[in-house]
Structure 1
Amino acid sequence: MTISAHPAPSPARWSAWLLPHAWVALYWLAFLLVLEPGNIQRASQAGQVLSLPHETIRILVASLLGATVTSAVQALAGRFPLHGPGRGRHLLIHAAGAAGLALALVLASCLLAAWVFAGRWLPSWDEIRDQLVGNFTLLMFALAALTALVHANLQRKAPAVSPVRPEAPAPVRELPALTHVEVKRRGQLVSLPLSEVDWIESQGNYVALHVGQEQHLLRDTVSRFAERLDSRRFLRIHRGVIVAVDRVRAVEPLTNSDTLLHLTRGGPLRASRSYAAAVRELAAQLCREPVTKES
Protein backbone atom coordinates (compact mmCIF):
# COMPACT_ATOMS: atom_id res chain seq x y z
CA MET A 1 0.00 0.00 0.00
CA THR A 2 1.38 3.39 -0.97
CA ILE A 3 0.95 6.32 1.36
CA SER A 4 1.14 9.77 -0.21
CA ALA A 5 3.51 12.27 1.41
CA HIS A 6 0.99 15.02 0.66
CA PRO A 7 -2.36 14.21 2.26
CA ALA A 8 -5.48 15.32 0.46
CA PRO A 9 -6.88 18.64 1.67
CA SER A 10 -9.66 18.30 4.20
CA PRO A 11 -13.22 19.38 3.33
CA ALA A 12 -12.85 22.28 5.73
CA ARG A 13 -9.80 23.59 3.83
CA TRP A 14 -11.57 23.20 0.49
CA SER A 15 -14.56 25.08 1.89
CA ALA A 16 -12.35 27.85 3.27
CA TRP A 17 -10.74 28.25 -0.18
CA LEU A 18 -13.86 27.79 -2.33
CA LEU A 19 -16.28 30.05 -0.45
CA PRO A 20 -14.39 33.37 -0.91
CA HIS A 21 -13.71 32.52 -4.56
CA ALA A 22 -17.42 31.88 -5.11
CA TRP A 23 -18.34 35.22 -3.52
CA VAL A 24 -15.76 37.04 -5.66
CA ALA A 25 -17.12 35.32 -8.79
CA LEU A 26 -20.61 36.57 -7.86
CA TYR A 27 -19.11 40.03 -7.27
CA TRP A 28 -17.63 40.08 -10.79
CA LEU A 29 -20.87 38.69 -12.23
CA ALA A 30 -22.85 41.54 -10.66
CA PHE A 31 -20.25 44.06 -11.82
CA LEU A 32 -20.39 42.80 -15.42
CA LEU A 33 -24.20 42.68 -15.45
CA VAL A 34 -24.29 46.32 -14.37
CA LEU A 35 -22.03 47.20 -17.33
CA GLU A 36 -23.88 45.02 -19.85
CA PRO A 37 -26.64 47.58 -20.77
CA GLY A 38 -23.91 50.02 -21.75
CA ASN A 39 -22.24 47.37 -23.90
CA ILE A 40 -25.53 46.59 -25.65
CA GLN A 41 -26.19 50.28 -26.28
CA ARG A 42 -22.70 50.90 -27.73
CA ALA A 43 -23.02 47.82 -29.95
CA SER A 44 -26.42 49.01 -31.18
CA GLN A 45 -25.06 52.45 -32.00
CA ALA A 46 -22.27 50.77 -33.97
CA GLY A 47 -24.81 48.69 -35.91
CA GLN A 48 -23.91 45.42 -34.21
CA VAL A 49 -26.23 42.88 -32.60
CA LEU A 50 -24.83 41.03 -29.56
CA SER A 51 -25.71 37.37 -29.43
CA LEU A 52 -27.29 36.29 -26.13
CA PRO A 53 -25.38 32.97 -25.93
CA HIS A 54 -22.16 34.76 -26.83
CA GLU A 55 -22.68 37.40 -24.14
CA THR A 56 -23.72 34.82 -21.55
CA ILE A 57 -20.58 32.78 -22.12
CA ARG A 58 -18.43 35.93 -22.10
CA ILE A 59 -19.88 37.18 -18.80
CA LEU A 60 -19.62 33.78 -17.07
CA VAL A 61 -16.04 33.23 -18.24
CA ALA A 62 -15.10 36.78 -17.24
CA SER A 63 -16.62 36.22 -13.76
CA LEU A 64 -14.64 33.03 -13.26
CA LEU A 65 -11.53 34.76 -14.57
CA GLY A 66 -12.04 37.61 -12.09
CA ALA A 67 -12.34 35.09 -9.24
CA THR A 68 -8.75 33.97 -9.88
CA VAL A 69 -7.43 37.17 -8.26
CA THR A 70 -9.14 36.33 -4.93
CA SER A 71 -6.07 34.85 -3.26
CA ALA A 72 -3.86 37.73 -4.41
CA VAL A 73 -6.28 40.36 -3.08
CA GLN A 74 -6.62 38.49 0.23
CA ALA A 75 -2.84 38.22 0.58
CA LEU A 76 -2.35 41.95 -0.08
CA ALA A 77 -5.13 42.88 2.35
CA GLY A 78 -3.71 40.69 5.09
CA ARG A 79 -0.09 41.79 4.58
CA PHE A 80 -0.72 45.52 4.07
CA PRO A 81 -3.74 46.63 6.15
CA LEU A 82 -5.24 50.06 5.49
CA HIS A 83 -5.47 50.92 9.18
CA GLY A 84 -2.75 51.61 11.69
CA PRO A 85 0.77 52.85 10.93
CA GLY A 86 2.01 52.93 7.35
CA ARG A 87 -1.43 53.49 5.79
CA GLY A 88 -0.07 55.75 3.03
CA ARG A 89 2.62 53.29 1.95
CA HIS A 90 0.16 50.39 2.09
CA LEU A 91 -2.30 52.34 -0.07
CA LEU A 92 0.36 52.79 -2.74
CA ILE A 93 1.16 49.07 -2.60
CA HIS A 94 -2.53 48.25 -3.08
CA ALA A 95 -2.74 50.64 -6.04
CA ALA A 96 0.30 49.00 -7.67
CA GLY A 97 -1.17 45.56 -6.97
CA ALA A 98 -4.52 46.53 -8.49
CA ALA A 99 -2.78 47.87 -11.61
CA GLY A 100 -0.83 44.63 -12.01
CA LEU A 101 -3.91 42.47 -11.49
CA ALA A 102 -5.95 44.62 -13.92
CA LEU A 103 -3.25 44.24 -16.58
CA ALA A 104 -3.13 40.49 -16.00
CA LEU A 105 -6.93 40.22 -16.33
CA VAL A 106 -6.92 42.21 -19.58
CA LEU A 107 -4.21 40.01 -21.12
CA ALA A 108 -5.92 36.82 -19.95
CA SER A 109 -9.28 37.95 -21.35
CA CYS A 110 -7.68 38.80 -24.69
CA LEU A 111 -6.08 35.34 -24.85
CA LEU A 112 -9.37 33.60 -24.01
CA ALA A 113 -11.27 35.69 -26.56
CA ALA A 114 -8.74 34.80 -29.25
CA TRP A 115 -8.92 31.08 -28.43
CA VAL A 116 -12.69 30.72 -27.92
CA PHE A 117 -14.20 33.20 -30.36
CA ALA A 118 -11.54 33.86 -33.03
CA GLY A 119 -9.83 30.47 -33.19
CA ARG A 120 -6.37 32.04 -32.90
CA TRP A 121 -3.60 31.33 -30.41
CA LEU A 122 -2.67 34.97 -29.73
CA PRO A 123 -4.64 38.22 -29.85
CA SER A 124 -3.46 41.12 -31.97
CA TRP A 125 -1.82 44.20 -30.48
CA ASP A 126 -4.82 46.29 -31.58
CA GLU A 127 -7.18 44.04 -29.61
CA ILE A 128 -4.98 44.29 -26.50
CA ARG A 129 -4.75 48.09 -26.86
CA ASP A 130 -8.51 48.42 -27.29
CA GLN A 131 -9.14 46.31 -24.20
CA LEU A 132 -6.65 48.34 -22.16
CA VAL A 133 -8.22 51.63 -23.25
CA GLY A 134 -11.76 50.45 -22.69
CA ASN A 135 -11.50 48.24 -19.58
CA PHE A 136 -8.32 48.98 -17.62
CA THR A 137 -9.81 51.89 -15.64
CA LEU A 138 -13.01 49.93 -14.94
CA LEU A 139 -10.99 46.97 -13.72
CA MET A 140 -8.92 49.22 -11.44
CA PHE A 141 -12.13 50.59 -9.95
CA ALA A 142 -13.58 47.07 -9.51
CA LEU A 143 -10.39 45.80 -7.86
CA ALA A 144 -10.28 48.81 -5.50
CA ALA A 145 -13.89 48.11 -4.44
CA LEU A 146 -13.06 44.40 -4.00
CA THR A 147 -10.03 45.27 -1.85
CA ALA A 148 -12.21 47.49 0.34
CA LEU A 149 -14.70 44.64 0.80
CA VAL A 150 -11.93 42.20 1.73
CA HIS A 151 -10.52 44.67 4.27
CA ALA A 152 -13.97 45.17 5.78
CA ASN A 153 -14.41 41.40 6.07
CA LEU A 154 -11.00 41.00 7.75
CA GLN A 155 -11.84 43.78 10.20
CA ARG A 156 -15.14 42.09 11.02
CA LYS A 157 -13.47 38.75 11.67
CA ALA A 158 -10.60 40.21 13.68
CA PRO A 159 -10.98 39.38 17.39
CA ALA A 160 -11.63 42.32 19.65
CA VAL A 161 -8.48 43.24 21.51
CA SER A 162 -9.17 44.20 25.08
CA PRO A 163 -6.85 46.77 26.60
CA VAL A 164 -4.03 45.17 28.48
CA ARG A 165 -4.08 46.12 32.10
CA PRO A 166 -0.68 46.31 33.69
CA GLU A 167 -0.31 43.74 36.39
CA ALA A 168 0.22 45.06 39.85
CA PRO A 169 3.80 44.44 40.91
CA ALA A 170 4.20 41.65 43.37
CA PRO A 171 4.85 42.92 46.87
CA VAL A 172 8.53 42.89 47.68
CA ARG A 173 9.10 40.84 50.78
CA GLU A 174 11.95 42.38 52.72
CA LEU A 175 14.27 39.96 54.44
CA PRO A 176 15.05 40.66 58.08
CA ALA A 177 18.37 42.33 58.75
CA LEU A 178 21.25 40.05 59.55
CA THR A 179 22.23 39.77 63.19
CA HIS A 180 24.61 36.80 62.93
CA VAL A 181 26.70 35.16 60.21
CA GLU A 182 28.35 31.76 60.20
CA VAL A 183 32.13 31.87 59.90
CA LYS A 184 34.96 29.45 60.46
CA ARG A 185 36.99 30.02 63.58
CA ARG A 186 39.86 27.62 64.31
CA GLY A 187 38.41 25.12 61.84
CA GLN A 188 34.96 25.14 63.37
CA LEU A 189 31.80 26.76 62.05
CA VAL A 190 30.56 29.32 64.57
CA SER A 191 27.85 31.99 64.58
CA LEU A 192 29.43 35.43 64.69
CA PRO A 193 27.26 38.29 66.05
CA LEU A 194 27.50 41.30 63.74
CA SER A 195 27.57 43.50 66.82
CA GLU A 196 31.23 42.38 67.20
CA VAL A 197 32.20 43.53 63.67
CA ASP A 198 34.15 46.82 63.47
CA TRP A 199 34.17 47.28 59.72
CA ILE A 200 33.72 45.35 56.47
CA GLU A 201 35.65 45.53 53.21
CA SER A 202 35.43 43.98 49.77
CA GLN A 203 38.11 41.50 48.73
CA GLY A 204 37.28 40.33 45.22
CA ASN A 205 34.41 37.85 45.42
CA TYR A 206 34.54 37.90 49.20
CA VAL A 207 33.73 40.31 52.01
CA ALA A 208 36.09 40.51 54.95
CA LEU A 209 34.59 41.06 58.41
CA HIS A 210 37.10 42.78 60.70
CA VAL A 211 36.69 41.96 64.38
CA GLY A 212 39.62 43.56 66.19
CA GLN A 213 42.74 41.78 64.91
CA GLU A 214 40.67 38.96 63.38
CA GLN A 215 39.37 38.78 59.85
CA HIS A 216 36.65 36.47 58.58
CA LEU A 217 35.88 35.91 54.90
CA LEU A 218 32.42 35.31 53.43
CA ARG A 219 31.81 34.52 49.76
CA ASP A 220 29.58 37.46 48.75
CA THR A 221 29.76 40.92 47.18
CA VAL A 222 29.83 43.98 49.37
CA SER A 223 26.78 45.50 47.64
CA ARG A 224 24.65 42.37 48.17
CA PHE A 225 25.88 41.98 51.74
CA ALA A 226 25.13 45.65 52.51
CA GLU A 227 21.48 45.11 51.56
CA ARG A 228 21.13 42.57 54.38
CA LEU A 229 22.65 44.79 57.05
CA ASP A 230 20.80 47.03 59.51
CA SER A 231 21.23 50.54 58.06
CA ARG A 232 21.01 52.01 61.56
CA ARG A 233 24.10 50.08 62.68
CA PHE A 234 26.21 49.95 59.52
CA LEU A 235 27.13 52.75 57.10
CA ARG A 236 28.70 52.42 53.68
CA ILE A 237 31.50 54.97 53.34
CA HIS A 238 33.23 53.72 50.19
CA ARG A 239 32.41 51.52 47.22
CA GLY A 240 34.13 48.64 49.02
CA VAL A 241 34.01 49.65 52.70
CA ILE A 242 31.25 49.50 55.35
CA VAL A 243 31.77 50.69 58.91
CA ALA A 244 29.92 49.93 62.12
CA VAL A 245 28.45 53.26 63.24
CA ASP A 246 29.08 52.69 66.95
CA ARG A 247 32.81 52.11 66.27
CA VAL A 248 33.37 55.61 64.85
CA ARG A 249 34.82 58.01 67.46
CA ALA A 250 35.82 60.92 65.20
CA VAL A 251 35.40 62.23 61.65
CA GLU A 252 38.31 64.20 60.15
CA PRO A 253 37.70 66.25 56.95
CA LEU A 254 40.47 66.12 54.33
CA THR A 255 41.45 68.75 51.77
CA ASN A 256 40.23 66.77 48.74
CA SER A 257 36.63 66.49 50.06
CA ASP A 258 37.28 62.99 51.40
CA THR A 259 37.04 62.27 55.10
CA LEU A 260 38.92 60.06 57.51
CA LEU A 261 37.03 58.02 60.05
CA HIS A 262 38.85 57.13 63.30
CA LEU A 263 37.55 54.01 64.99
CA THR A 264 37.61 52.87 68.58
CA ARG A 265 39.34 49.73 67.34
CA GLY A 266 41.30 49.45 64.09
CA GLY A 267 41.32 51.88 61.18
CA PRO A 268 41.41 54.72 60.34
CA LEU A 269 39.16 54.37 57.27
CA ARG A 270 38.95 56.73 54.34
CA ALA A 271 35.43 57.73 53.17
CA SER A 272 35.04 58.84 49.55
CA ARG A 273 33.21 62.00 48.51
CA SER A 274 30.45 59.90 46.94
CA TYR A 275 29.24 59.10 50.45
CA ALA A 276 29.93 62.54 51.91
CA ALA A 277 26.28 63.25 52.82
CA ALA A 278 25.95 60.11 54.93
CA VAL A 279 29.32 60.76 56.60
CA ARG A 280 28.34 64.39 57.44
CA GLU A 281 25.18 63.13 59.08
CA LEU A 282 27.26 60.70 61.11
CA ALA A 283 29.63 63.50 62.12
CA ALA A 284 26.69 65.66 63.24
CA GLN A 285 25.39 62.73 65.29
CA LEU A 286 28.78 62.35 66.98
CA CYS A 287 28.76 66.07 67.85
CA ARG A 288 25.34 65.76 69.52
CA GLU A 289 26.15 62.68 71.57
CA PRO A 290 28.27 64.37 74.29
CA VAL A 291 25.52 66.97 74.85
CA THR A 292 22.94 64.22 75.22
CA LYS A 293 25.10 62.39 77.74
CA GLU A 294 25.61 65.54 79.86
CA SER A 295 21.92 66.27 79.97
Structure 2
Amino acid sequence: MTDPAPRRPSAYERYLPHRRWVEVGYWVFFALLAAVGNTITVTMEMTRAGLPFHPAEPAIWEGSSNAVHLLLVPAMVWFTRRFPLHLDTWRRQLPWYVLASGAYCLLHVVAMVGVRKAIYAAAGESYDFGDWPRQLLYEYIKDARTFLGAVLTIEAYRFLLRRLQGEASLLDAPDDDAPPVEPVDRPERFLVRKLGREFLVAAADIESLQASGNYVNLRVRGRDYPLRSTIAALEARLDPARFQRVHRSHIVNLDHVAMIEPLDTGDARLHLKDGSTLPCSRRYRSALRDRAV
Protein backbone atom coordinates (compact mmCIF):
# COMPACT_ATOMS: atom_id res chain seq x y z
CA MET A 1 0.00 0.00 0.00
CA THR A 2 1.58 3.30 -1.09
CA ASP A 3 1.76 6.26 1.22
CA PRO A 4 -0.56 9.16 0.35
CA ALA A 5 1.03 12.07 -1.45
CA PRO A 6 2.18 14.81 0.93
CA ARG A 7 -0.23 17.71 1.26
CA ARG A 8 0.87 20.69 -0.80
CA PRO A 9 1.25 23.84 1.33
CA SER A 10 -1.34 26.50 0.63
CA ALA A 11 -0.40 30.01 -0.49
CA TYR A 12 -1.09 31.20 3.05
CA GLU A 13 1.26 28.59 4.54
CA ARG A 14 3.99 29.48 2.05
CA TYR A 15 3.62 33.13 3.02
CA LEU A 16 3.85 32.54 6.79
CA PRO A 17 7.69 32.21 7.00
CA HIS A 18 8.01 35.61 5.31
CA ARG A 19 5.11 37.30 7.07
CA ARG A 20 7.08 39.12 9.78
CA TRP A 21 9.64 40.51 7.34
CA VAL A 22 6.93 41.64 4.94
CA GLU A 23 4.94 43.40 7.67
CA VAL A 24 7.95 45.15 9.21
CA GLY A 25 9.38 45.96 5.78
CA TYR A 26 6.10 47.53 4.65
CA TRP A 27 5.94 50.03 7.53
CA VAL A 28 9.67 50.84 7.42
CA PHE A 29 9.60 51.37 3.66
CA PHE A 30 6.64 53.75 3.73
CA ALA A 31 8.02 55.65 6.75
CA LEU A 32 11.27 56.21 4.85
CA LEU A 33 9.38 57.11 1.68
CA ALA A 34 7.24 59.65 3.55
CA ALA A 35 10.26 61.14 5.32
CA VAL A 36 12.22 61.59 2.09
CA GLY A 37 9.24 62.86 0.11
CA ASN A 38 8.17 65.34 2.78
CA THR A 39 11.74 66.55 3.26
CA ILE A 40 12.01 67.40 -0.42
CA THR A 41 8.60 69.08 -0.40
CA VAL A 42 9.33 71.20 2.71
CA THR A 43 12.71 72.22 1.33
CA MET A 44 11.16 73.35 -1.94
CA GLU A 45 8.35 75.27 -0.19
CA MET A 46 10.67 77.09 2.21
CA THR A 47 13.10 77.94 -0.60
CA ARG A 48 10.24 79.27 -2.74
CA ALA A 49 8.98 81.37 0.19
CA GLY A 50 12.44 82.78 0.84
CA LEU A 51 12.48 81.62 4.47
CA PRO A 52 15.85 81.16 6.21
CA PHE A 53 16.61 77.57 7.29
CA HIS A 54 19.51 75.18 7.70
CA PRO A 55 19.61 72.54 4.93
CA ALA A 56 19.41 69.76 7.54
CA GLU A 57 16.30 71.09 9.27
CA PRO A 58 13.63 69.67 6.91
CA ALA A 59 15.24 66.24 7.22
CA ILE A 60 15.28 66.55 11.04
CA TRP A 61 11.63 67.61 11.15
CA GLU A 62 10.30 64.97 8.78
CA GLY A 63 12.65 62.23 9.96
CA SER A 64 11.65 62.68 13.60
CA SER A 65 7.95 62.79 12.72
CA ASN A 66 7.97 59.62 10.64
CA ALA A 67 10.25 57.78 13.06
CA VAL A 68 7.69 58.34 15.83
CA HIS A 69 4.87 57.27 13.49
CA LEU A 70 6.80 54.05 12.89
CA LEU A 71 7.30 53.43 16.62
CA LEU A 72 3.55 53.82 17.21
CA VAL A 73 2.60 51.08 14.72
CA PRO A 74 2.77 48.21 17.28
CA ALA A 75 0.44 50.15 19.59
CA MET A 76 -2.01 50.65 16.71
CA VAL A 77 -1.88 46.96 15.82
CA TRP A 78 -2.68 46.10 19.45
CA PHE A 79 -5.46 48.67 19.64
CA THR A 80 -7.20 47.53 16.44
CA ARG A 81 -7.01 43.94 17.65
CA ARG A 82 -8.45 44.91 21.04
CA PHE A 83 -11.22 47.03 19.47
CA PRO A 84 -11.85 45.44 16.06
CA LEU A 85 -13.69 47.59 13.55
CA HIS A 86 -16.36 45.73 11.56
CA LEU A 87 -19.58 46.66 9.79
CA ASP A 88 -21.63 45.42 12.74
CA THR A 89 -19.47 47.04 15.44
CA TRP A 90 -18.22 50.34 14.04
CA ARG A 91 -20.86 52.49 15.76
CA ARG A 92 -20.02 50.99 19.15
CA GLN A 93 -16.28 51.25 18.56
CA LEU A 94 -16.27 54.73 17.01
CA PRO A 95 -15.92 56.65 20.33
CA TRP A 96 -12.87 54.54 21.20
CA TYR A 97 -11.30 55.35 17.85
CA VAL A 98 -11.92 59.08 18.28
CA LEU A 99 -10.24 58.97 21.69
CA ALA A 100 -7.42 56.85 20.27
CA SER A 101 -6.78 59.34 17.47
CA GLY A 102 -6.33 62.09 20.06
CA ALA A 103 -4.01 59.95 22.16
CA TYR A 104 -2.09 59.01 19.02
CA CYS A 105 -1.62 62.68 18.10
CA LEU A 106 -0.51 63.63 21.61
CA LEU A 107 2.03 60.80 21.80
CA HIS A 108 3.30 61.60 18.32
CA VAL A 109 3.75 65.31 19.02
CA VAL A 110 5.35 64.94 22.46
CA ALA A 111 7.83 62.30 21.25
CA MET A 112 8.53 64.16 18.01
CA VAL A 113 9.24 67.46 19.79
CA GLY A 114 11.42 65.64 22.31
CA VAL A 115 13.53 64.12 19.54
CA ARG A 116 13.89 67.46 17.77
CA LYS A 117 14.89 69.27 20.95
CA ALA A 118 17.53 66.62 21.64
CA ILE A 119 18.99 66.90 18.11
CA TYR A 120 19.02 70.70 18.21
CA ALA A 121 20.59 70.69 21.68
CA ALA A 122 23.34 68.35 20.47
CA ALA A 123 24.12 70.90 17.75
CA GLY A 124 24.16 73.76 20.25
CA GLU A 125 20.82 75.17 19.09
CA SER A 126 17.30 75.31 20.51
CA TYR A 127 14.07 74.08 18.94
CA ASP A 128 10.85 76.07 19.30
CA PHE A 129 7.64 74.14 18.55
CA GLY A 130 5.60 77.32 18.67
CA ASP A 131 2.21 77.96 20.27
CA TRP A 132 1.25 74.53 21.65
CA PRO A 133 -2.58 74.75 21.44
CA ARG A 134 -2.48 76.03 17.88
CA GLN A 135 0.23 73.61 16.81
CA LEU A 136 -1.52 70.66 18.45
CA LEU A 137 -4.70 71.42 16.49
CA TYR A 138 -2.68 71.63 13.30
CA GLU A 139 -0.89 68.37 14.05
CA TYR A 140 -4.15 66.61 15.01
CA ILE A 141 -5.67 67.40 11.63
CA LYS A 142 -2.69 65.71 9.99
CA ASP A 143 -2.36 62.89 12.51
CA ALA A 144 -6.05 62.01 12.36
CA ARG A 145 -5.65 61.33 8.64
CA THR A 146 -2.52 59.29 9.30
CA PHE A 147 -4.29 57.36 12.07
CA LEU A 148 -7.28 56.61 9.85
CA GLY A 149 -5.07 55.54 6.97
CA ALA A 150 -3.09 53.20 9.20
CA VAL A 151 -6.28 51.66 10.65
CA LEU A 152 -7.69 51.04 7.18
CA THR A 153 -4.38 49.54 6.05
CA ILE A 154 -4.22 47.19 9.05
CA GLU A 155 -7.84 46.06 8.66
CA ALA A 156 -7.50 45.59 4.88
CA TYR A 157 -4.37 43.48 5.42
CA ARG A 158 -6.14 41.33 8.01
CA PHE A 159 -9.08 40.90 5.66
CA LEU A 160 -6.78 39.74 2.86
CA LEU A 161 -5.08 37.29 5.23
CA ARG A 162 -8.43 35.86 6.28
CA ARG A 163 -9.49 35.52 2.65
CA LEU A 164 -6.24 33.77 1.82
CA GLN A 165 -6.42 31.59 4.90
CA GLY A 166 -10.16 30.97 4.66
CA GLU A 167 -12.99 32.00 7.00
CA ALA A 168 -15.55 29.90 8.79
CA SER A 169 -19.07 30.74 9.91
CA LEU A 170 -21.94 28.99 11.62
CA LEU A 171 -24.80 27.85 9.43
CA ASP A 172 -27.85 29.89 10.35
CA ALA A 173 -31.47 29.00 10.04
CA PRO A 174 -32.93 29.79 6.59
CA ASP A 175 -34.98 32.94 6.02
CA ASP A 176 -38.13 31.07 5.00
CA ASP A 177 -40.21 28.66 7.04
CA ALA A 178 -38.15 25.63 6.04
CA PRO A 179 -36.35 23.77 8.83
CA PRO A 180 -32.74 24.76 9.45
CA VAL A 181 -29.99 22.82 7.76
CA GLU A 182 -28.67 21.87 11.21
CA PRO A 183 -29.61 22.47 14.85
CA VAL A 184 -28.54 26.08 15.30
CA ASP A 185 -27.74 25.56 19.01
CA ARG A 186 -25.50 22.54 18.34
CA PRO A 187 -23.88 22.96 14.92
CA GLU A 188 -22.68 19.80 13.23
CA ARG A 189 -21.18 21.63 10.26
CA PHE A 190 -19.49 24.93 9.59
CA LEU A 191 -19.48 26.92 6.38
CA VAL A 192 -15.96 27.75 5.21
CA ARG A 193 -15.21 30.43 2.62
CA LYS A 194 -11.83 30.48 0.94
CA LEU A 195 -10.84 32.53 -2.12
CA GLY A 196 -14.42 32.81 -3.34
CA ARG A 197 -15.27 29.13 -2.78
CA GLU A 198 -17.56 27.72 -0.11
CA PHE A 199 -17.58 24.26 1.43
CA LEU A 200 -18.86 22.56 4.54
CA VAL A 201 -16.68 21.29 7.37
CA ALA A 202 -18.06 18.69 9.77
CA ALA A 203 -17.65 19.56 13.44
CA ALA A 204 -16.16 16.09 13.96
CA ASP A 205 -13.30 17.04 11.60
CA ILE A 206 -12.25 19.99 13.75
CA GLU A 207 -9.07 18.96 15.56
CA SER A 208 -8.84 21.93 17.93
CA LEU A 209 -9.93 25.53 18.42
CA GLN A 210 -7.84 28.49 19.54
CA ALA A 211 -8.99 31.94 20.62
CA SER A 212 -7.41 34.80 18.70
CA GLY A 213 -8.82 38.20 19.62
CA ASN A 214 -12.42 38.40 18.45
CA TYR A 215 -11.96 35.25 16.38
CA VAL A 216 -11.60 31.56 17.09
CA ASN A 217 -9.34 29.59 14.75
CA LEU A 218 -10.79 26.22 13.76
CA ARG A 219 -7.99 23.73 13.08
CA VAL A 220 -9.08 21.36 10.30
CA ARG A 221 -6.68 18.95 8.58
CA GLY A 222 -3.69 21.07 9.51
CA ARG A 223 -5.22 24.37 8.40
CA ASP A 224 -6.78 27.19 10.40
CA TYR A 225 -10.08 28.90 9.59
CA PRO A 226 -11.02 31.96 11.71
CA LEU A 227 -14.59 32.21 12.95
CA ARG A 228 -16.08 35.44 14.33
CA SER A 229 -16.92 34.36 17.87
CA THR A 230 -15.57 34.14 21.39
CA ILE A 231 -14.24 30.80 22.54
CA ALA A 232 -16.70 30.75 25.47
CA ALA A 233 -19.69 31.26 23.17
CA LEU A 234 -18.47 28.57 20.80
CA GLU A 235 -17.72 26.13 23.63
CA ALA A 236 -21.36 26.36 24.75
CA ARG A 237 -22.49 25.27 21.26
CA LEU A 238 -20.09 22.41 20.69
CA ASP A 239 -20.86 18.79 21.54
CA PRO A 240 -19.52 18.28 25.10
CA ALA A 241 -19.16 14.54 24.41
CA ARG A 242 -16.54 15.31 21.77
CA PHE A 243 -14.93 18.66 22.67
CA GLN A 244 -13.12 19.57 25.88
CA ARG A 245 -11.84 22.94 27.09
CA VAL A 246 -8.16 22.49 28.02
CA HIS A 247 -6.96 26.07 28.34
CA ARG A 248 -8.50 29.53 28.46
CA SER A 249 -7.56 29.86 24.78
CA HIS A 250 -7.87 26.26 23.58
CA ILE A 251 -10.52 23.58 23.02
CA VAL A 252 -9.58 20.13 21.75
CA ASN A 253 -11.46 17.38 19.95
CA LEU A 254 -10.87 14.36 22.20
CA ASP A 255 -10.86 12.03 19.20
CA HIS A 256 -7.65 13.70 18.01
CA VAL A 257 -5.69 13.49 21.30
CA ALA A 258 -2.87 10.96 21.10
CA MET A 259 -1.14 11.53 24.46
CA ILE A 260 -1.27 13.70 27.58
CA GLU A 261 2.18 14.69 28.83
CA PRO A 262 2.25 15.89 32.47
CA LEU A 263 4.54 18.82 33.24
CA ASP A 264 6.36 19.69 36.47
CA THR A 265 4.32 22.90 36.78
CA GLY A 266 1.10 20.94 37.19
CA ASP A 267 0.03 21.79 33.66
CA ALA A 268 0.15 19.34 30.76
CA ARG A 269 1.00 19.21 27.09
CA LEU A 270 -1.38 17.52 24.67
CA HIS A 271 0.05 15.66 21.71
CA LEU A 272 -2.44 15.38 18.86
CA LYS A 273 -2.48 12.64 16.25
CA ASP A 274 -1.19 14.99 13.56
CA GLY A 275 1.97 15.66 15.60
CA SER A 276 0.98 19.12 16.86
CA THR A 277 0.79 20.03 20.55
CA LEU A 278 -1.55 22.09 22.71
CA PRO A 279 -1.16 23.50 26.23
CA CYS A 280 -3.41 22.19 28.98
CA SER A 281 -3.60 24.28 32.13
CA ARG A 282 -3.91 22.67 35.55
CA ARG A 283 -7.41 24.11 35.86
CA TYR A 284 -8.64 21.77 33.11
CA ARG A 285 -6.19 18.89 33.52
CA SER A 286 -8.25 16.84 35.98
CA ALA A 287 -11.39 17.08 33.86
CA LEU A 288 -9.42 16.06 30.76
CA ARG A 289 -7.84 13.09 32.57
CA ASP A 290 -11.26 11.89 33.73
CA ARG A 291 -12.59 12.15 30.19
CA ALA A 292 -9.59 10.32 28.74
CA VAL A 293 -9.83 7.36 31.12
Same-fold call, TM cutoff 0.5: no
Compute the TM-score of the two structures, normalised by the length of structure 1.
0.43
Larger Rg: 1
